[in-house]
Amino acid sequence: MIMTGTPPPPADGLKDLLLHRRLRKGLTVEASSSKWSATALGGHLAELSGEGESAVLTVASGLVLDVQQQGGMAVWLTTRESVFYPPDASAGGVDLEALPVVRLETELQIVQAADQLVRSGAFDLLVLDLGRFASLPLQAQTRLASLAAHHGSLLLCLTHKKRRQPSLGSLVALRGDASREVESAERIHCRVRILKDKVRGPGWTHQELCHGPDGLR
């Protein structure tokens, strides 16, 4: 399900319409930490970053799959220049018929759309693919963090930056840096190093052995 333009708030029946979808195939993920899941991170504004051939898209897609397997709803917001490729997500087990993918012109439109969508309470996970030149004004952080907490949703911002660069802002509750090591075309070792965590404290890591398409990175 791919949409373009600035989306209106979801209709009341959107969640019911999409919840009947079920995964037809799965991405095998062997995870090392239960702290890295949509449930554990719910209610927060978070950031997942990486540079070069990182594991950002793989790990984010894994969270989408996790939400879908739990019967929840996710939405992916991105720009037209994004490298998000739906066939790769589908090959990794994500049910595209149950994943709205909204392509917008600017990062500002992504933030505005996320504001509308999280208010609906229909989504457990909102992925905001903000890219290389991401910024999140304090006012937007405050609003999104408050809405995430109110609805128990995870707002996950994807950014392209070096590990030593700061997070998007002070109201980002958690920031992880994603990297990967490709063993073969079907075996990808993904690691998320937690650089910031206001709840548990930084320094812990999450690792996954993913059996999925090489295009997810």
Tell me the average pLDDT of the chain. 82
Could you tell me the pTM of the whole model?
Answer: 0.82
What pLDDT is recorded for position 23? Answer: 30
How confident is residue 124, by pLDDT bands cut at 50, 70 and 90? very high
What pLDDT is recorded for position 2? Answer: 52
Higher pLDDT, 62 or 133: 62
| Residue where the block lists tokens 């994004």 | 82
Phi/psi of residue 193, each to 5°?
A: -95, 125
Strands 174-184 and 187-197: antiparallel
Strands 187-197 and 205-211: antiparallel
How confident is residue 185, by pLDDT bands cut at 50, 70 and 90? low
| Residue where the block lists tokens 């930056």 | 161
Flag the least confident range among 21-30, 38-47, 53-62, 154-163.
Answer: 21-30
Residue 202 in this model has a pLDDT that exceeds 60? yes
- For residue 134, give the 3-state DSSP assignment: coil
Task: Tell me how far apart the alpha carbons of residues 9 and 126 are, in angstroms, rounded to a whole number.
Answer: 14
Give the tens place of pLDDT for each residue, 82-115: 777 788 788 778 999 999 999 999 999 999 999 9
| Residue where the block lists tokens 């919840």 | 19
Task: Tell me how far apart the alpha carbons of residues 215 and 109 are, in angstroms, rounded to a whole number.
Answer: 26
- For residue 115, give the 3-state DSSP assignment: helix
Sign of the dihedral through C-alpha 35, 39, 44, 47: positive
Can you list the domains of the chain with their CATH numbers? 28-211 (3.40.50.300)
